[in-house]
Amino acid sequence: MSEREPIGVIGTGWVGLVTAACFAELGHRVVARDIVPEKVAALERGEVPIHEPNLSELIKRNRERLEFTTEIEPVLEEARLIFVCVQTPPTHSGDADLTAVMRAVEEIGSGGRRALVMKSTVPVGTGRRIRDLAKGFAYVSCPEFLREGTAVKDFLEPDRVVIGAEPGDEWAADAVAAAYEAVGAPIVRTDLSSAEMIKLASNAFLATKISFINEIANVSEEVGADVTEVARGMGMDDRIGPRFLQAGIGYGGSCFPKDVSALKILAGNSGYHFQLLNSVIEVNELQKRRVLAKLTKHLDSLSGKRVALLGLAFKVDTDDMREASSLVLASRLQGEGATVVAYDPVAEDRAKELLSDVEMSKSPLDAIDGADAAVLVTEWPEFAELDWAEVAKRMNTPLLVDGRNFLDAEAVRGAGLTYEGIGRPSASEPQT
Ligand code: UDX
């Protein structure tokens, strides 16, 4: 294998760890730095702190090319390209908190021919501002589009790689493009602000698609259509496409809620009222609560009822609980006086830190035992394998709300349960 550019990574969260592991897989030596000593020590021992398919295997397989450190010096000594993958959480005003980004800027800015490659999602204009501020290094925007649960695949087989740079920093943009050459994806070379906007606009667009189909689902319930059929028919139009048209109980995660708000605030700060995004956010918030109406339709009051949540993670194949619909759902149910019991195959530990008074079960059947209702929150494959006759037998009231339209409605109904999906013909309507 030809000599590959050494890569520096700052921050070993989801994006940083996947970036480090995948560049190592592509044959690069990678020095990854994190300021949390326990995290670095665990990584050095080969322990991966997040649940992400194939990530542990990749780290193990490329162990000799990967170094984890709490110090910045080894990164600066070895790498010209330093990928910044730190968190940019919203502040009270809704703007992105750039503290961790600015710390990285300071550390990298100590001279030498280096490039800061920004993977963290930052407000449009941040790159140009940092570049004006810090003269010592080149600056490249290379936003990350990976999804949790398929992050490794998304990194190694992306639809496109976006590389933004200003005149004068072409060498750095070329070097980043060369590092990505092996993934064989189209490369979008553009200016800094456009690259930053591509990231925010892409996430906001996908979130809009989800809120749109959720509203179609809600109307479908009123008029007797089935949103899964509607999405199937819509998705065959090449201009629309079938993905991100799954109606459900709203989007969550570390990116969509944050990035949609960030774009709205960014627009507002610059004097533009981004009206559409207000609706996208509001529809999503209401969607998380719609399950309650579906439950009360059958149970009247939720007070004193036992409700089982099947799945807690914001989506399948991750233990990430950030902005998970289950959090809103659990506290609304508790607010109505219900007892909440839950099962999730991987998110239990993270969920425990965020949920209070929720009983955790060790299996789906334990969770539904004696329950008055069950709500499928996360589409874990094991839920499709459940013995529904056994479920119906064990529940106090055999009522199931499928928050992801994941289950075979007829099989569930056939086993004697009342099935409610999202935007599908409901239990009280005649089935054809
Ligand atoms: C998202 C973007 O897809 C990714 O490009 C970006 O880098 C980070 O944010 P992620 O948050 O990992 O990735 O998950 P994603 O698969 O996009 O799902 C986000 C949320 O939308 C989940 O809660 C999911 O359940 C929900 N969703 C997704 C739907 O409700 N319907 C859909 O059709 C698709």
Distance 174 CA to ligand 1 centre (A): 30
DSSP per-residue letters across 356-395: SSPEE-SSHHHHHTT-SEEEE-S--HHHHT--HHHHHHHS
What is the value of pTM for the model shown? 0.94
Rounded to an integer, what distance in angstroms lies between the CA atom of residue 409 and that of residue 72? Answer: 54
Q: What is the pLDDT at residue 109?
A: 80
Atom of ligand 1 nearest to the CA of 323: 23
Rounded to an integer, what distance in angstroms lies between the CA atom of residue 344 and that of residue 309? Answer: 8
Atom of ligand 1 nearest to the CA of 318: 12
Residue reference for tokens 């149910």: 333
Q: What is the pLDDT at residue 431?
A: 44
CA distances from 193 to 130, 139, 198, 432 (A): 12, 12, 9, 53
Q: Are the beta carbons of 297 and 322 closer than 8 angstroms? A: no
Atom of ligand 1 nearest to the CA of 148: 12
Distance 113 CA to ligand 1 centre (A): 37
Pocket probe mutation, ligand 1, options 200, 315, 323, 329, max atoms within 8 Å of Cβ = 315
Alpha helices by DSSP H, listed for 270-306, are 275-299
Q: Of 157, 164, 219, nearest to 190 (Cα)?
A: 164
CB atoms within 10 A of CB 351: 22
Rounded to an integer, what distance in angstroms lies between the CA atom of residue 44 and that of residue 123? Answer: 33
Q: What is the pLDDT at residue 428?
A: 53
Q: What is the pLDDT at residue 2?
A: 52
Q: What is the pLDDT at residue 3?
A: 81
CA distances from 30 to 12, 16, 75, 333 (A): 12, 11, 9, 46
3-state secondary structure of 168: coil
Burial degree of 337 (CB within 10 A; 0-12, 13-18, 19+): exposed
- Supply 37's token pair: 């000593």
Q: What is the pLDDT at residue 133?
A: 83
Pocket probe mutation, ligand 1, options 209, 215, 232, 255, max atoms within 8 Å of Cβ = 255
CA distances from 91 to 39, 102, 321 (A): 25, 15, 19
- In this structure, the chain runs to a length of 432
Q: Of 324, 373, 372, nearest to 344 (Cα)?
A: 324
Q: What is the pLDDT at residue 111?
A: 66
> Beta strand pairing status for 161-164 and 187-190?
parallel
**φ, ψ for residue 307, nearest 5 deg:** -120, 125
Percent helix, percent strand, percent coil in the chain, to nearest 5: 45, 15, 40
Distance 132 CA to ligand 1 centre (A): 34
Q: Which residues' Cβ are closer than 6 Å to ligand 1?
A: 144-148, 203, 206, 210, 244-246, 248, 251-253, 255-256, 314-315
* Cross-strand partners of 402: 376
Rounded to an integer, what distance in angstroms lies between the CA atom of residue 217 and that of residue 196? Answer: 32
Q: Terminal CA-to-CA distance of the chain, rounded, Å?
A: 61
Q: Whose CA is nearest to atom 14 of ligand 1?
A: 147
pLDDT in tens, the chain (432 residues): 458 999 999 999 999 999 999 999 999 999 999 999 999 999 999 999 998 999 999 999 999 999 999 999 999 999 999 999 999 998 888 888 999 999 999 988 866 789 999 999 999 999 999 998 877 899 999 999 999 999 999 999 999 999 999 999 999 999 999 999 999 999 999 999 999 999 999 999 999 999 999 999 999 999 999 999 999 999 999 999 999 999 999 999 989 999 999 999 999 999 999 999 999 999 999 999 999 999 999 998 999 999 999 999 999 999 999 999 999 999 999 999 999 999 999 999 999 999 999 999 999 999 999 999 999 999 999 999 999 999 999 999 999 999 999 999 999 999 999 999 999 987 654 444
> Beta strand pairing status for 306-310 and 339-343?
parallel
